[in-house]
Structure 1
Amino acid sequence: MFLNDLYHMLDPIAFSVGPFSVHWYGLAYLAGFICAGVVLWRTQRRWGLGLSGDDVYLIMIAIVFGIIIGARLFYVVFYGAGYYLEHPLEIFATWNGGMSFHGGLAGAVVGGALACRRCGISIASVCDMGVIGAPIGLFFGRCANFVNGELWGKETDLPWGVMFETGGNVYRHPSQLYEAILEGLVIFAVLYLLSRRVPPRPQGTFMGTFLVLYGVFRFLVEFVRVPDAQLGYLFGPITMGQLLSLPLVLLGIVVLVAAHRLNRPQVGYLA
């Protein structure tokens, strides 16, 4: 089993410098932010929006802080199951894990919107460009989850099953890699190909497509992924991840319909 052998060859710590250790998970976040920034910059140039490098940098910094704060807060609220009420200082211990994509998305939108308002830039267009690069970060993040041996799937007898150290003496679905492929590579390929058209598609097209695809893919993968131990299943086979993904699909459909009807062009600086 190639994936099983690969998993046991990998170390969650990328390298150490004296007493300090650098984990692949942290490097995944860093790589994702850098790649997303590059995609945003190149996309606005291809679309001819004329944004300055300083403004793009400010927007990316705001998005980074929004993602980190939003992802942690959502995890504490929706996945904490009361643990953080008893251990409030643990809220800041992000190195122990616990980040929610749904919260990260909300935080990115809020952070990016605040930066856009300060710079006089179209929030809708920045959202569209931002979600084109976001799947790259999702890809790196899910790969890091695999290296860490966390968020694994249900038992399987398929040839690519992996025996994770914390998952018992059974082979499991490498659900982290399923998500890396679907939420990362597939969504990026779809959005990137859509973004190649000039003039670009109307505002909201990319955000709506991203929300629908992510929500659908996440909902499907959850069927083979073991839910968080502190929550388990909420309603029959439904998990918290699925419960939070359904609104994304609905919101994405609404955004796509609005984008088609309004047909507003992508713009950079607001008049």
Structure 2
Amino acid sequence: MLELAAIAFPQIPTGIPIGPVEIRFYALAYVAGLLFGWWLAKRICGKDELWGATRHPEPIAVDDLIVYIAFGIILGGRLGYVLFYDLPAYLDAPLEALKLWHGGMSFHGGLIGATLGVFLFARARRLPTLPILDLGAAVAPIGLFFGRVANFINGELFGRVTDIPWAMIFPHGGPEPRHPSQLYQAALEGVALFVLVQLLVRGGALKRPGLVAGLFAVGYGIARVIGEMFRQPDPQLGFLAGGLTMGMLLSVPMIALGLALAGLALKRRPAEA
């Protein structure tokens, strides 16, 4: 049998030990994503010329907004994982759903939770919801990038078996060389999507409420579908009908909703100051 060449998986610690406690890189990825997103969101809110006449939060309000979004991401992400990826197991052991360090998080669930957080924040501040969704979409790829890098460091959510020169043997992926699909997704969902939304923001898209959020949803959905073509499906689910994965199926309605939202935004006149 022909032996496939592969790059050895780098020996990267999964966290930073502080006394008896280890701060996991996965948790640090969430913190870094929120902090950098908070910083950039405040800068965007402070540039009125980007918004035109669109009502938007003041920079100081982002301090509260980030709390709403953080809780939405954590609660929605965990609930989404339970419902979409491993419901039978959690029905047998419901308390396991509370153990965030066991199992995983779902981006699509986190997105729903973050959207609900934005809605509650907008209602509390009596602000329109769409501009705040645009603001969240403008900074969301930062968290996606850090999250995928953390997946790589943990050696989880690895790719399918391949013979490409840069294939890796992951500690929990068996002896076969695999795609480093976490890095593909970091590049697509993080870097490429960040460039896209920043170009939209600088190009005046915030003057059409819903446009940045809609195109973010379309861009993420397409990036996720591409990434899923290289990623090994979750073992408890495997491939679904037609060779699709759960990530692909959840991204299809996201793309459709994003197209609808962007289409409605483009029909409006830009809110010039």
| TM-score normalised by the chain length of structure 2 | 0.91
Q: Indicate yes or no: 2:149 matched with 1:147.
A: no
| Distance in 2 separating the partners of 1:121 and 1:201 | 15
Q: From the superposition, tell whether residues 159 and 137 of structure 1 become closer, same or farther in structure 2 (CA, over 3 Å).
A: same
| Distance in 2 separating the partners of 1:241 and 1:198 | 31
What residue is the counterpart of 2:243 in the other structure?
Answer: 237
| Distance in 2 separating the partners of 1:71 and 1:238 | 21
Q: Which amino acid aligns with 1:41?
A: K
What residue is the counterpart of 2:133 in the other structure?
Answer: 127
What residue is the counterpart of 1:44 in the other structure?
Answer: 45
Q: Indicate yes or no: 2:86 matched with 1:84.
A: no
Q: From the superposition, tell whether residues 39 and 155 of structure 1 become closer, same or farther in structure 2 (CA, over 3 Å).
A: same
Deviations 1:51-70 (A, max 9, x none): 44442111110000000000
Q: From the superposition, tell whether residues 67 and 199 of structure 1 become closer, same or farther in structure 2 (CA, over 3 Å).
A: closer
SS at match of 1:160: coil
Q: Which amino acid aligns with 2:264?
A: A
Identity of aligned residues (%): 41
| TM-score normalised by the chain length of structure 1 | 0.92
What residue is the counterpart of 2:177 in the other structure?
Answer: 171
Q: Does the 8 A contact of 1:203 with 1:266 survive in 2? A: no
What residue is the counterpart of 1:34 in the other structure?
Answer: 35
Matched residue count: 263
- Could you tell me how far 1:163 is from its partner in structure 2? 0.6
Q: Which amino acid aligns with 2:84?
A: F
**1:189-208 aligned within 5 A:** 189-198=195-204, 200-208=206-214
Q: From the superposition, tell whether residues 23 and 266 of structure 1 become closer, same or farther in structure 2 (CA, over 3 Å).
A: farther
| Distance in 1 separating the partners of 2:244 and 2:272 | 38
Q: Which runs of 4+ in 1 moved over 6 A?
A: none
SS at match of 1:228: coil
RMSD: 1.8
SS at match of 2:101: helix
Q: From the superposition, tell whether residues 200 and 47 of structure 1 become closer, same or farther in structure 2 (CA, over 3 Å).
A: farther
